[in-house]
Amino acid sequence: MRFSVRSSFVGLAALGSLGLAAPAAWAGCGDTAAVAPAAWDQAPARAGDPQLLKAAVTGGAQSIVGLWDVKFYVGGNLFDFGYAAWHDDGTEIMNSGGRSPASENFCMGVWTTTGPFSYALNHYALSYDPATGKLNGKVLIKENVQVEAKGQAFSGPFTLDVFDPTTNANVAHVAGQVTGKRLTAQ
């Protein structure tokens, strides 16, 4: 293998120009008034391959990332409510206001982007008998939500399935609508 000083210099110059062309990083310190949450950007993953899509940071307001005041409705009636934090690493945590801490009111989920400003969440919870503290159910809540154009609200369908912790049999199924209103520091 032949080493060429000229080709090494050209390669280093190309890498250096990429560093200069890249946008500045924001570490989360300082003035955040102009910083907007990330949003879906539909773009080819590789040149010449339009079928593959990637999620890119665009600075749009339609991102699901943030803290939300959520409400779950079944048949038009309030079923549950609380606060949900959707994190940029694809995880989510919710504090349910409709459940007692004795029966467990915190639960976690994982989410993915499914399209422009739309997201799917698999949310897992454990349910306990408040009197005995014994596990009485494993819960899976699935949401498919769409963030509205200004990024301040979302809505979509949800399903909730409760499974027996011993037999894993599905013992209850509920379907309805979930809504979220963005909470901010201001």
Domain locations along the chain: 66-183
**Cα separation of 103 and 110, whole Å?**
22
What is the pLDDT at residue 99?
A: 84
Is the Cβ–Cβ distance between 125 and 92 less than 8 Å? Answer: no
Confidence of residue 48 (pLDDT cuts 50, 70, 90): very low
Residue 174 forms beta bridges with which residues?
160
Sign of CA dihedral 147, 56, 82, 144: positive
Question: Are 94 and 86 in contact, with CB atoms under 8 Å apart?
Answer: no
Higher pLDDT: 152 or 23? It is 152
pLDDT of residue 98: 83
pLDDT, residue 105, reads 82
Asked whether the predicted pLDDT for residue 53 surpasses 50, the reply is no
SS3 content of the chain, % helix, strand, coil (to 5): 10, 50, 40
Global pTM? 0.67
Nearest to 155 by CA among 60, 61, 71, 65: 71
Greater confidence (141 vs 27) lies with 141
- Running DSSP on this structure, what letter comes out for residue 62? T
pLDDT in tens, 74-98: 999 999 999 999 999 999 999 998 8
pLDDT band at 173 (very low <50, low <70, confident <90, very high): very high
Instruction: Indicate the CATH number for domain 66-183.
Output: 2.40.128
Q: Which residue has the higher pLDDT, 54 or 2?
A: 2
Q: Are 147 and 46 in contact (CB under 8 A)?
A: no
- Amino acid 148: pLDDT: 94
Contacts of 152 (CB under 8 A, 6+ apart): 61, 181, 182
Checking if the pLDDT of 18 tops 60, the result is: no
Please tell me which residue, 163 or 2, carries the higher pLDDT value.
Answer: 163
Mean pLDDT of 56-74: 77
